[in-house]
Amino acid sequence: MTDLSGMNRSGDLRAGEPVMLTDRKKRRYLIDLVDGGEFHSHSGVLPHDEMIGNPEGETYRSSRGMVFIAVRPTITDFILKMPRGAQVVYPKDVGPILIIADIFPGARVLESGLGSGALSTGLLRAGAEITGYEIRDDFEQGARDNVGRFLGQAALEQYQTQVRDVYEGIDETDLDRIVLDLPEPWQVVPHAEKALRRGGIFVAYSPSIIQVSQLHEAMEGSPFGMAETVEVLQRGWHVQGTAVRPDHRMVAHTGFLTHARLLAE
């Protein structure tokens, strides 16, 4: 049985699914398969119908002789290629956030802001039920579009989004987790105290260390404790024959991850 939802696609490629094409130069293209559709690039045309009904990993040749391999995108591929409004949380940070926030199936999570929905996609995939606050309506819509495209429309039922300012308060109570990616996470601390359940986890992703210290300061006079901050460095390696060494370039900085737990008053 093939799974038609976006959560666990398998079997032959079907119309309506996102697919990633990779060429010999490792250039990657994210497309959505459509009956009768065509992929156009500088190297000619590749009809979608050639791919629909085939398994992943097959090789195709465009009208001008360029060779492409077609596979379903992973969440990493998708985040790196999906349309972006705001800066996304990179896959190297999405993974650790899921573990640091201890996301589990059915976890009640408040996420803010939503941006392009990269982090949302990771949280939903791990089984979270998200209430999302996003101050910009265009970003709210963009995040929903990206989530639905990768995870399927059914996933949107677990993604209740609202256009609103999280600094003004949180309506939900008894939340398991609060996950933030916005400029002033310390403004959310007083609301988070009321919205989280005891033992609940607060995680904030912040690019600047000044934001981190301001957040720690705000938590010092609060019922939050066990606060820690980490950063995640990922270094790729070049492995080819006897040339085995770290890549010359790496993404040296994205953001710091600060997490704390709601303890007794």
Task: Give the residues lining the site for ligand SAH (CB under 6 A).
Answer: 86-89, 112-119, 133-136, 139, 165-167, 181-183
Min dist CB 90 to ligand SAH, Å, is: 8
The nearer residue to ligand SAH, 68 or 78, going by C-beta atoms, is 78
- CA dist 31 and 185 (Å) reads 35
The nearer residue to ligand SAH, 52 or 188, going by C-beta atoms, is 188
32-53 as b/e: b if 16+ CB within 10 A: ebeeebebeeebeebebeebbe
Q: Which long-range contacts (CB under 8 A, 24 or more apart) does 45-54 make?
A: 46/21, 48/15, 51/13, 51/19, 52/12, 52/13, 52/14, 52/15, 53/12, 53/13, 53/14, 54/12, 54/13
Contact 203, 250 (CB under 8 A): no
Min dist CB 133 to ligand SAH, Å, is: 5
Min dist CB 42 to ligand SAH, Å, is: 29
Min dist CB 25 to ligand SAH, Å, is: 28
Q: 248, 230, 238: which is closest to 95 by C-alpha?
A: 230
Min dist CB 157 to ligand SAH, Å, is: 20
The nearer residue to ligand SAH, 73 or 117, going by C-beta atoms, is 117
Min dist CB 110 to ligand SAH, Å, is: 11
Min dist CB 140 to ligand SAH, Å, is: 8
